[in-house]
Amino acid sequence: MGIISLKHTDQLYWLGRYSERVYTTLKLFAEKYDSMIDLNEAEYEDFCKKQDIPNIYSSSEDFAKRYCFDENDTNSIISNLTRAYDNAVVLREEIGSTTLSYIQLAVYAMNKAKLSEAPLLELQHVRDNIVAFWGIVDDSIDDEHVRSIIKLGKRIERVDLFARMHMDRSELKREILKLNRRIDRTGLTYSAKRMAHINYLIEEDDLNYKELVGEIEALLL
Amino acid sequence: MKRLNFRYHLEIDFDIPVKEHRFTLKCIPYSNSVQQVESLKYNIVPNYFLCRTKDSFENESIYGSCDKEHNVFSVDVWGNLKTGLSEKIEMRTSYEADIYKYQTEHTKPGEELKKYSEELKKGYKKQFVKEDILKKAIFYMHRLYEDYTYESGITEITTTAEEAFKIGKGVCQDYSHILIALLRMERIPCRYVTGMMLGEGYSHAWIELCDGNFWIAIDPTNDLIVKDCHIRIAVGRDYKDCMINQGVFIGCGREAKQRQDISVTVEEIK
Amino acid sequence: MYTKNLCIYSDSVNELLARYGVKFGIYKDNTFHEQLFPFDMIPRVISAEEFAYIERGLKQRIKALNLFIEDIYHNKRIIHDKIIPEEFVYAGSGYLAQCEGVSPPRGIYTHIAGIDLVQAKDGTWYILEDNLRIPSGASYPMIARDLCRKCSPQTFRDNHLEDNRNYAKLLRKTFDYVNTEGHTVILTPGRYNAAYFEHSYLAEQTGAHLVNGHELTVEDDKLYFVDFSGKKERVGVVYRRISDEYLDPMNFKEESLIGIPHIYDVYRKGNVALINAPGNGVADDKGIYYFVPKMINYYLGEEAVLKNAPTYLPYYQEDLEYVLMHFDDLVIKDVAEAGGYGVFFGNKLENKAKESFKELIKAEPRRFIAQEVIDFRDIDIMEHGEFVPRKADLRAFVLMAEEPMVWKSGLTRFSRNPDSFIVNSSQGGGFKDTWVLSR
């Protein structure tokens, strides 16, 4: 195992989190985008509430545009992708140029989607590149430590997002199980007590999503 | 020749706790042809590690760190020396003086000093027929002593020679920088010296100029040739090369206000 | 033609360069932008024989420059033997008094040098500038070659050339030779530096750790890298891509936030190698450039293999008169400026500006050098599918381990503007691969 600085550990973790945030919010966005066409125009309001982001959007169209592409909106997908890129670009020697290139490609695809008349088609490329990024992380990063930290970030972010969106227990449970398997392989320090509590919460009859989000956010020390 | 006992005390109080403090101290007198250190002790608190080194001007330095939070940092150095063993300091190498011919950021003359230099040159020519480096330096020193006023609290440590001269008042650092600027305008190698002086409660500064293969020390603040009342600590191109205490704080602490207190006692041992 | 097959892939290669983030940073109106470095597919081709001659000249030059720096910070023979006037040394921007008497590990000051050359119309190569401080640019042809080979394997089957992707190996050799027992790190000022891509790419290619100043710490005369768990690992080599002044707030610029306090004290004691050695800028000052052929003669007893561009020093009365008389034929350079700034073509100045410039030279002769304008041999570039000639230079890289090693390639930079002689990337130039034929 090579030596990794605290800063790089942090950047690997957030690279994992932001890449996941972009991927899953894009997926959720695509679903909402569809139903907002003719079913429920105001669905984005509920989306913002659950995501705990301010609803600054004036209409479903405004939401579709700004939530995806407004760089000045700190909660937009493009802002999150920029954060993923900011963490990735300083990790070239840790993750490799090839791995880094998929984040770079996602950025290019995002910029292209922004200019497109049919953004959803182009946004698919953003998702494709992130999936490829995760694939290459598994395939080409030999250092287990490095790999695990990225994946831990991804897992934590996913549980967090799923809990916020009140996903089905079964889906959430699956993700928490994966998180349990990953966390000890990172060498990072976390609260075993909170991890146990998360495992308890998911089994409770009355699933307390809010508490779950709180616990997951405070898991790492 | 004299035997002197000295005690140097530096205390820095920070208004907010600082940590990850890195420091370099040039506060240790060393033996050469004019002075001989008989005993020397120092105490630096707090510290995490301390290392001894010599800088490129051959000054004894101590560097180190203290990572833990602290509000006070203190340095004590004490010991005995024989001073005035010779009138001149031998050069270590034949080229040692080269770098001291050139002005630095702090000694670089402006219009005022250039004018003053012309005036002094004329004055010297009127009085002396022959060029003599030492005579000239002493002549300039006398004139500066007459034309410049000692007053503390007017200039700061970052004040340049030109600025200090324009103000017309200053302390030993300013006297030294101005005289250095004047001599270097004529490519006379000279350097800044920090140290202590008998009967003076604070650290002191003067200059050394190169004449032939020797350095000769003169003290423009007191208008005299240094003999056995001065204890020499460090030399450099200007005050910056021989700052007694230099510190930085990594991360936090850069905004901390500090109050620095220095007290020096130098007494003759009879 | 060597490259017909290659040129059709221009767009693909530039796309791949974008994919791998081959960029340089630039500040415009105080905000940071990443820009792609335009790559032109037509390589500069140098024959094996011609390159052998260049290599001989570069090795000689680097040996002499290294001896010069050592001499300046120790015995100063070259000054006392009156080969170089002392004010060119001590009043130059690259001289650092803090380096007096300090000896770097294995006596090497110029581990990585980027020497800029141009070829005149008659085929003569001239040295334009020695960059000894933190020369950059090797990563660009290195990665471009890799991508070109992917696009057109046939081109590289048909042409026999030296593989330039060994740069990382040469660099590693350079690091290992001076290592004082410990890890190798590349010290970057951060991602907002113009050459950040290169820092990170070279770290990846050499297996070094890319760090910033806060990740290194000094303790008990040694330098350490602190890992995420707080464990300290000894560092033996720092390939630092930050300038001398910002390296150590305790020994150089106090206000430096990117430096490492006391790293210079560790270096002084021989416990870490700094690449390149602090203070080596004393030898790449534009004023010192004039004296390099004399230096070669003085230290090595040889005639310089590679010529300087004909240069005049207004410092010498005779040269000053020449400069004032032939002002229109000369290019004047301010010795304190770099990166293509502070360069003035005599014939391009208006009369009034010309006269005041002449006065300035008279007042501050030490500040300027003047050179004959070399009639560059133009190189073709592709523009909208057509070949057009442009000015170009060549930055050759010389690395020093036990012996100097010349990288069998180089960064060819060209000016995209047909009238310009300025090829710097910061001023909108592009780059080419440099092929050295192997037979």
Tell which of B18, B55, B66 to mutate to test the C interface (max C CBs under 10 Å): B55
- In C, minimum Cα distance to A90 occurs at C191
Q: How far apart are CA B129 and CA C410, in angstroms?
A: 62
**Residue-number span of the structural domain to which B197 is assigned:** 89-237
- In B, minimum Cα distance to C262 occurs at B63
| CA B8 and chain centroid, separation | 15
Q: Given an 8 Å threshold on Cβ–Cβ distance, is A8 in contact with C201? A: no
CA-based nearest distance C256→chain B, Å: 10
pLDDT at C1 over 60: no
Structural element, H or E, at residue C131:
strand C125-131
- According to DSSP, the β-strands at B149-150 and B169-170 are parallel
Which of A3, A93, A108 lies closest to C227 in CB terms? A3
Cis peptide before C212 (omega within 30 of 0): no
pLDDT value of residue C311: 95
Which of C86, C98, C249 lies closest to B98 in CB terms? C86
Q: What is the mean pLDDT of residues B212-230?
A: 96
CA-based nearest distance C203→chain A, Å: 6
- Check whether residue B225 and residue B252 sit in a common domain: no
A118 in C contact zone (CB under 8 Å):
no
CA-based nearest distance B59→chain C, Å: 12
3-state secondary structure chain A: CCCCCHHHHHHHHHHHHHHHHHHHHHHHHHHHHHHHHHCCCCHHHHHHHHHCCCCCCCCHHHHHHHHHHCCCCCCCHHHHHHHHHHHHHCCHHHHCHHHHHHHHHHHHHHHHHHHCCCHHHHHHHHHHHHHHHHHHHHHHCCCHHHHHHHHHHHHHHHHHHHHHCCCCHHHHHHHHHHHHHHHCCCCCCECHHHHHHHHHHCCCCCCCHHHHHHHHHCCEC
Residues 122 through 161 of chain A touching chain C, CB cutoff 8 Å: none
CATH of residue B80's domain is: 2.60.40.2250
Q: How far apart are CA A46 and CA A30, in angstroms?
A: 15
pLDDT value of residue C420: 73
- Check whether residue B143 and residue B19 sit in a common domain: no
CA-based nearest distance C371→chain A, Å: 42
B238 in C contact zone (CB under 8 Å):
no
- Check whether residue A129 and residue A163 sit in a common domain: no
Chain C residues touching B99 at Cβ < 8 A: 90, 97, 100
CA-based nearest distance C64→chain B, Å: 21
Nearest CA among C400, C392, C402, C423 for reference residue C125: C392
A105 in C contact zone (CB under 8 Å):
yes
B252 in C contact zone (CB under 8 Å):
no
Chain B residues touching C86 at Cβ < 8 A: 98, 101
Do C208 and C185 contact (CB within 8 A), yes or no?
yes
pLDDT value of residue B251: 63
Query: How many percent of chain A have pLDDT more than 90?
Result: 76
pLDDT at A1 over 50: no
Q: What is the predicted ipTM?
A: 0.94
Tell which of C36, C150, C199, C228 to mutate to test the A interface (max A CBs under 10 Å): C228
3-state secondary structure of C366: helix
Strands (E), C199-260: 209-211, 216-219, 222-226, 232-240
Each residue's pLDDT tens digit, A37-79: 887 878 888 889 888 889 999 988 899 899 999 999 999 999 9
Chain A residues touching C19 at Cβ < 8 A: 101, 104-105, 108
Q: What is the mean pLDDT of residues C160-184?
A: 96
3-state secondary structure of B21: strand
C333 in B contact zone (CB under 8 Å):
no
Tell which of C88, C100, C102, C244 to mutate to test the B interface (max B CBs under 10 Å): C100
What's the residue count for chain C? 439
- In C, minimum Cα distance to B237 occurs at C97
Each residue's pLDDT tens digit, B6-37: 999 999 999 989 989 999 999 999 999 999 99
- Check whether residue B57 and residue B6 sit in a common domain: yes
Each residue's pLDDT tens digit, C137-150: 999 999 999 999 99
Chain C residues touching A108 at Cβ < 8 A: 18-19
Domain closes at, from A83, A109, A141: A141
3-state secondary structure of C80: helix
- Check whether residue B79 and residue B212 sit in a common domain: no
Which of C210, C226, C227 lies closest to A93 in CB terms? C210
- Check whether residue A114 and residue A163 sit in a common domain: no
Q: How far apart are CA C117 and CA C107, in angstroms?
A: 26
Tell which of C248, C265, C271 to mutate to test the B interface (max B CBs under 10 Å): C265
- Check whether residue B94 and residue B224 sit in a common domain: yes
Q: Given an 8 Å threshold on Cβ–Cβ distance, is C91 in contact with B102? A: yes
Residue C291 in tokens: 């004296």
Each residue's pLDDT tens digit, C227-286: 988 899 999 999 999 999 999 999 998 888 889 999 999 999 999 999 999 999 999 988
- Check whether residue B224 and residue B97 sit in a common domain: yes
Do C209 and C186 contact (CB within 8 A), yes or no?
yes
Tell which of A1, A3, A86 to mutate to test the C interface (max C CBs under 10 Å): A3
Q: Given an 8 Å threshold on Cβ–Cβ distance, is A100 in contact with C210? A: no
Q: How far apart are CA A21 and CA A158, in angstroms?
A: 7
- Check whether residue A166 and residue A129 sit in a common domain: no
Q: What is the mean pLDDT of chain B?
A: 94
**Residue-number span of the structural domain to which A36 is assigned:** 1-141
A90 in C contact zone (CB under 8 Å):
yes
Cis peptide before B46 (omega within 30 of 0): yes
Q: A97: Cβ–Cβ under 8 A, 6 or more apart, which residues?
A: C20, C21, C201, C204
Regarding chains B and A, contact by 3 or more CB pairs under 8 A is answered as no
CATH of residue B201's domain is: 3.10.620.30
Do B172 and B148 contact (CB within 8 A), yes or no?
no
Domain count, chain B: 2
- Check whether residue A30 and residue A113 sit in a common domain: yes
Which of A7, A9, A101 lies closest to C19 in CB terms? A101
Each residue's pLDDT tens digit, B71-96: 999 999 999 999 999 999 999 888 89
Each residue's pLDDT tens digit, C180-236: 999 999 999 999 999 999 999 999 999 999 999 999 999 999 999 999 888 999 999
- Check whether residue A136 and residue A32 sit in a common domain: yes
β-pair partners for C333: C343, C369
pLDDT at B163 over 70: yes
Q: Return the number of other C-beta atoms located less than 10 Å from residue C33's C-beta.
A: 11
pLDDT value of residue B254: 67
- Check whether residue B112 and residue B229 sit in a common domain: yes
Q: How far apart are CA B73 and CA B47, in angstroms?
A: 9
- Check whether residue B125 and residue B217 sit in a common domain: yes
Q: Given an 8 Å threshold on Cβ–Cβ distance, is C228 in contact with A6? A: yes
- Check whether residue A121 and residue A218 sit in a common domain: no
pLDDT value of residue C29: 81
Structural element, H or E, at residue B249:
strand B245-249
- Check whether residue B212 and residue B102 sit in a common domain: yes
CA-based nearest distance C410→chain A, Å: 22
CA-based nearest distance C96→chain B, Å: 10
- Check whether residue A122 and residue A217 sit in a common domain: no
Domain count, chain A: 2
Q: Given an 8 Å threshold on Cβ–Cβ distance, is B250 in contact with C219? A: no
Q: How far apart are CA B5 and CA B235, in angstroms?
A: 21
Tell which of C71, C250, C263, C366 to mutate to test the B interface (max B CBs under 10 Å): C250
- Check whether residue A15 and residue A52 sit in a common domain: yes
A9 in C contact zone (CB under 8 Å):
yes
Domain closes at, from A141, A165, A199: A141
Do B249 and B18 contact (CB within 8 A), yes or no?
yes
Q: A145: Cβ–Cβ under 8 A, 6 or more apart, which residues?
A: A1, A2, A4, A185, A186, A187
B139 in C contact zone (CB under 8 Å):
no
- Check whether residue A135 and residue A166 sit in a common domain: no
- Check whether residue A1 and residue A53 sit in a common domain: yes
- Check whether residue A120 and residue A171 sit in a common domain: no
Domain closes at, from A101, A117, A141: A141
| CA A89 and chain centroid, separation | 18
Q: Given an 8 Å threshold on Cβ–Cβ distance, is B51 in contact with C99? A: no
Chain B residues touching C90 at Cβ < 8 A: 98-99, 101-102
pLDDT value of residue C426: 63
- Check whether residue B146 and residue B218 sit in a common domain: yes
Strands (E), C208-329: 209-211, 216-219, 222-226, 232-240, 273-275, 307-308, 311-312
Enumerate domains of chain C plus CATH numbers: 4-304+376-436 (no CATH), 310-372 (3.30.1490.270)
Residues 101 through 140 of chain C touching chain B, CB cutoff 8 Å: 101-102
Q: How far apart are CA B189 and CA C97, in angstroms?
A: 14
Q: Given an 8 Å threshold on Cβ–Cβ distance, is C228 in contact with A9? A: yes
Each residue's pLDDT tens digit, C392-434: 999 999 999 999 999 999 999 998 888 776 666 666 789 999 9
For chains B and C, count residue pairs whose Cβ atoms are closer than 8 Å. 64
pLDDT value of residue A11: 96
pLDDT value of residue C2: 64
Nearest CA among C266, C334, C278 for reference residue C133: C278
Q: What is the mean pLDDT of residues B233-238?
A: 96
For B16-33, b where at least 16 C-beta lie within 10 A, e where not — what string?
eebebbbbbbbbbbbebe
Nearest CA among B207, B218, B202, B114 for reference residue B165: B114
pLDDT value of residue C425: 63
Residues B197, B201, B205: CA angle, nearest 5 degrees? 45
Each residue's pLDDT tens digit, C23-42: 888 888 888 888 889 999 99
Each residue's pLDDT tens digit, A175-221: 999 999 999 888 889 999 999 999 999 999 889 999 999 999 999 98
Return the amino acid letter for C30.
N
- Check whether residue A106 and residue A173 sit in a common domain: no
